Amino acid sequence: KAGVTQTPRYLIKTRGQQVTLSCSPISGHRSVSWYQQTPGQGLQFLFEYFSETQRNKGNFPGRFSGRQFSNSRSEMNVSTLELGDSALYLCASSLRSSAGYNEQFFGPGTRLTVL
Amino acid sequence: AQSVTQLGSHVSVSEGALVLLRCNYSSSVPPYLFWYVQYPNQGLQLLLKYTTGATLVKGINGFEAEFKKSETSFHLTKPSAHMSDAAEYFCAVTFSGSARQLTFGSGTQLTVLP
């Protein structure tokens, strides 16, 4: 079974631009979560999508948004990029059943550099 | 609110020596606890997890961890380090009400010396 895929793997943008990152979950997984990883702040939860609806949101400004499609693929968008948005953006998928914990499987990430 | 503290941002051990990576958590409700490993330019791979039941959990690659509620700890150990264990390790916590929102520690970079 194919793992979580993220595209693109690397991206360079300039301040003020916007960017869209894509995540394809493992087949059958319906929950997609996004995390930002930076040297200064570490790994931080951005948001989770399930059944095309945002279910949880971390403490990030409104410039960070996302969506999920009917096939469970998810995109996240960052508008008006700032230098501090340079990070590795990780996507994780899980089954999200009602019983207990479902393991999250992480993709390789998208490395975003803002110049 | 929940939080995770990893003691030691860098740990060096000799090949064949014991690996001990420390993790303490804070959670007002029963936690789910995890250890992830990250190799350069890769995502996170789950090493092991504690949700309920046995407090000593075994994971992949010979790693294990023990959940100690009284000490609010979940330290990661491996009896004998291998060169391939060199990576960054993250402890994470969540709870049943929000199981997909992981709170991570700051990470520990493990170096294995020949």
Q: Residue A16: is its pLDDT beyond 90?
A: yes
Least confident of A28-42, A51-65, A98-112: A98-112
B100 in contact with A at a CB cutoff of 8 Å?
Answer: yes
Q: How far is A38 from chain B (nearest CA, A)?
A: 10
Question: Distance between CA B37 and CA B54 in Å, rounded?
Answer: 22
Burial zone of B45 (CB within 10 Å; 0-12 exposed, 13-18 middle, 19+ buried): middle
Q: Out of A56, A107, A109, whose CB is closest to B100?
A: A56
What number is the average pLDDT over the span B80-106? 88
Q: Is the pLDDT of residue B83 over 90?
A: yes
Q: Is the pLDDT of residue B97 over 70?
A: no
Beta strands in chain B (DSSP E): 3-7, 10-14, 19-26, 31-38, 44-50, 56-58, 64-68, 73-78, 87-95, 103-104, 108-113
Of A112 and B53, more confident: A112
Which pair of tokens denotes residue A23? 């995540």
What six digits make up the tokens of B47? Answer: 């090493």
Looking at the predicted structure, is the pLDDT value of residue B1 above 80? Answer: no
Q: What is the pLDDT of residues A49-61, one digit of tens each?
A: 999 999 889 999 9
Residues β-bridged to residue A48: A33, A56
Mean pLDDT within A19-48:
95
